[in-house]
Structure 1
Amino acid sequence: MDILKSLGHPEEIFNLFKFKMGGCRTVMPKLDYESMSESLRTCYLYLNQTSRSFAAVIQALDGELRHAVCIFYLVLRALDTVEDDMTIPLDKKVPMLNDFHTFLYQKEWCFTESQEKDRQVLADFPTISVEFRNLAQEYRDVISDICHRMGVGMAEFLEKKVGSMKEWDLYCHFVAGLVGVGLSQLFSASQLEDPEVGRDTELANSMGLFLQKTNIIRDYLEDTQVGRAFWPEEAWSQFAGRLEDLAEPEKLDLALSCLNLLVTDALRHVPDVIAYLSRLRNQSVFNFCAIPQVMAIATLSSCYNNPMLFQGVVKIRKGQAVTLMMEATSMSAVQTIISQYSQEILQKVSQTDPSRDKTLHILALIEEKSAVSQSSLPSRTHHLSPMYLSAAMLLAALSWQYLSTTAEHGHI
């Protein structure tokens, strides 16, 4: 039960209960599906089927930007499904990736041979492409351009492994940094954000790289078990002969050194994340951008120096995720969250870790960039008497159990 994992965190139990009772609507308002065309409703169905986390924040965006970002996500999900499908031979896959952006204007194009879990977005691509063509020209131009650049980049990395740290940056740029660039251009095209948000591609790229690197770090075991290698060879070759060797118990100390090196590299994007978020003015766009970023730094804090990463997938608690979703709605709150998780990482830095100096340097820089007036912010620590806390926990647990068995289950 999710609530049991948060027993030592009373604010998480409170927020889980609050979220279940309707607090989710503050960040995930209900959409009016009745007013949508059948094809657009189907697109939102696919969105919810293929992404629980991004579906929530996409559907909370304001106005026509919501539909543009929904279609953008599905187009890139279809492209990504082609890249991930190991059953498609290279001589067929490479041209598909390079030409994928042209399929947006081919009414009947679809691909029914995929074996991937999200194959429906390819099999029913005409439903997605018709809604793409219904978008305003400025949105279509952005989506088509990013799709083209991503497809070319993905094709480039199909036949070569991620070697150097620079190549890691380049790979992450193609698969995620360009998403940040495209989203920023959509924000500006909608006029909900200033044109400068769309023009500053360096900060937008960092937003994507931070999320992608976090996912790559977290998914080490899952990826290596199916033969995928996304940790850069320049990093892991310092500690092991093969990437999968890091999972061997006798190599734990070396594995942790490699892990901490990569977490440190990911953390160098956080100052750019703070700079990017500080420019945003629309509340729905801010929530959309901030929530995944604070989840990422919470995940990195859980991963840093954690032996469990080489035995399974390290995840943040659901109560922790809900709390972050409900709190990350202002720049000052986001700065506080980032500061707190960077402090958590700081407490775990070993005296003997090879990356210690670099880690301490970037954490100090993050602390400087995230400095806010703590006295003006509500504390995330709750001082409750043991008797009150026990009663509150019991009440919350009983209420949660009742709600879980009588109400429809929402997804995060």
Structure 2
Amino acid sequence: MFAAASATSAVQFQFRGGGRPLSTTIPRKKHNHSLVSSRLKLPDSLPCILRYPDELYSMVRLKLALTVSEKQIPAEPPHWRFCYSTLYKMDGSHLIIQQIDEDVRDAFCIYALVLRALDTIEDDSTIATEVKVPILQTFHRRIRDGNFHFSNGAKYYKALMENFHHVTTAFLELDCRFQEVIEDITMKMGAGMAKFICKEINTIDDYDEYCHYPVGLCMIGASKMYSVSRGKSLASEDLSNAMGLFFQKVDTIKDYPDDINMMPNPRMLWPRQIWGKYVDKLEDLKNEDNSAKALLCLNEMVTNALTHVEDSLKYLSTLPDPAIFRGIAIFKVIEFGTLALCYNNIEVFRSGVGLRPGLAAKIFYNTSSMSDVYEAVHDFSFILESKISDNNPNDKVTRSLIDTIKKCCRSSLTSNQRKSYII
């Protein structure tokens, strides 16, 4: 949910002037489950400020919220200061965590950092397979080891790995029931990551299984964490997993340039069952000569991700905690909007695609209920639908899925008088 090991790389709020109406080109780190970036920058282009003045207000408001949030990081004891300040530096999920009730807040903070550390190891292509796999498989046991540290990653990730003893100290202060959930999810996630270090993603079933490990499990674990403190789950495991698969698949699609150009070895995360219809090698999709085939492949990948949207909306509708609902709902809207922008967009294979930072900031403040989610998803559905062409071999399936999503949204809205802030 709030962990970097989950694949949601929502928008980094670093505005880049100009660009398309709804999107901006943004470099991103794999598996960065970032809601907002603490490095938010205001638009530095006057034309953009004039074009989207209401978004500028949201960005300024969010920047101020980040400043206030930083001041709420505990000064003592040092291990808790390290944990919360590290989470703050990495992304904006701390804004959501700080709104959660105190009896579970610390547990979610440590849950996020442990899974982020696990992901930092899995994501580092410079670590030899024979070294990486055993670490992933046993990482759940290292959480209690105050002497464990590992020098990898960059910037805040490197600091996390080299000072992991602070996380261990904080972890050992949690209720033992939280500890058990964190260890169990870390064990399963590490084992799954290790499996796909050595296994190619050939079929769609492989793809679903891969997506389950970094994000589906994270969402299931979040529900179990909530159950420890409230005596009831956030949602069923099936719906939690569906939300996780949706998040991971959007991330996998939009991170194609980063993954395929990763050194020393590219990450091959798209299933051969899909890309093998269009090219001989996954990296061939980035060649300009294959642009037409690349778009057909991309659109099939987006269509596959759309199969999880209806269940992910059901998941959101069951969440009983307002703070947790809002955090996941914001991710959901941003990721669905990004998926709509990715459809039939060749920039996915070039420099990447993402929502305008100002629009993402606006979503952050305008998403507080299921009605808000339905309205935004409904709007983005129209954007995606407008890009479907009749010569696409999957156009009927894509249209059918979009129709189902729009009907789901319309049937759940209480009024026909909708006020759109997306279009």
TM range, smaller chain:
0.7 to 0.9
> Are residue 214 (structure 1) and residue 250 (structure 2) matched?
yes
* Secondary structure, aligned partner of 1:281: coil
State the shift of 1:16 in Å: 2.5
- What RMSD, in angstroms, separates the aligned Cα atoms of the two structures? 2.5
> Are residue 174 (structure 1) and residue 213 (structure 2) matched?
yes
Instruction: Name the structure with the higher helix share.
Output: 1
Match of 1:59 among 79, 98, 107: 98
Match of 2:232 among 172, 185, 195: 195
Check 1:294–1:34 CA distance in 2 against 1; reply closer, same or farther (3 A cut). Answer: same
Q: How many angstroms apart in 1 are the aligned matches of 2:70 and 2:419?
A: 28
Aligned residue number for residue 140 of structure 2: 101
Q: How many angstroms apart in 2 are the aligned matches of 1:97 and 1:257?
A: 35
* Secondary structure, aligned partner of 1:231: coil
Highest CA radius of gyration, 1 or 2? 1
Task: Give the paired residue count.
Answer: 377
* Secondary structure, aligned partner of 2:355: coil
Aligned residue number for residue 144 of structure 1: 183
Q: How many angstroms apart in 1 are the aligned matches of 2:233 and 2:172?
A: 26
Check 1:251–1:370 CA distance in 2 against 1; reply closer, same or farther (3 A cut). Answer: same
> Are residue 42 (structure 1) and residue 82 (structure 2) matched?
yes
State the shift of 1:359 in Å: 0.5
> What amino acid sits opposite 1:218 in the alignment?
K
Check 1:284–1:208 CA distance in 2 against 1; reply closer, same or farther (3 A cut). Answer: same
Aligned residue number for residue 253 of structure 1: 292
Q: How many angstroms apart in 2 are the aligned matches of 1:249 and 1:361?
A: 30
Match of 1:13 among 43, 53, 61: 53
- TM-score by length of structure 2 reads 0.83
Aligned residue number for residue 8 of structure 2: none
Within 5 A, what are the aligned runs for 1:118-137?
A: 118-137=157-176
101-110 or 251-260: bigger deviation:
101-110
State the shift of 1:81 in Å: 1.3
State the shift of 1:12 in Å: 4.7
Q: Which runs of 5+ in 2 are unaligned?
A: 1-14, 22-46
State the shift of 1:38 in Å: 1.4
| 2:380–2:422 Cα contact (<8 Å) kept | no
Aligned residue number for residue 30 of structure 2: none
> Are residue 297 (structure 1) and residue 333 (structure 2) matched?
no
> What amino acid sits opposite 2:421 in the alignment?
R
> What amino acid sits opposite 1:373 in the alignment?
T
Match of 2:421 among 348, 360, 380: 380
* Secondary structure, aligned partner of 1:305: coil
| 1:27–1:60 Cα contact (<8 Å) kept | no
Q: How many angstroms apart in 2 are the aligned matches of 1:26 and 1:104?
A: 29
Q: How many angstroms apart in 2 are the aligned matches of 1:354 and 1:28?
A: 50
Q: How many angstroms apart in 2 are the aligned matches of 1:333 and 1:353?
A: 31
Check 1:270–1:26 CA distance in 2 against 1; reply closer, same or farther (3 A cut). Answer: farther
State the shift of 1:36 in Å: 4.3
> What amino acid sits opposite 1:202 in the alignment?
D
| 2:376–2:422 Cα contact (<8 Å) kept | no
Q: Which runs of 5+ in 1 are unaligned?
A: 383-412
| 1:339–1:366 Cα contact (<8 Å) kept | yes
| 2:17–2:48 Cα contact (<8 Å) kept | no
> What amino acid sits opposite 2:234 in the alignment?
V
Aligned residue number for residue 35 of structure 2: none
Q: How many angstroms apart in 1 are the aligned matches of 2:397 and 2:206?
A: 20
Q: How many angstroms apart in 2 are the aligned matches of 1:103 and 1:149?
A: 14
Within 5 A, what are the aligned runs for 1:276-355?
A: 276-355=315-394
Check 1:303–1:369 CA distance in 2 against 1; reply closer, same or farther (3 A cut). Answer: same
Report percent identity of matched pairs.
32
> Are residue 223 (structure 1) and residue 264 (structure 2) matched?
no
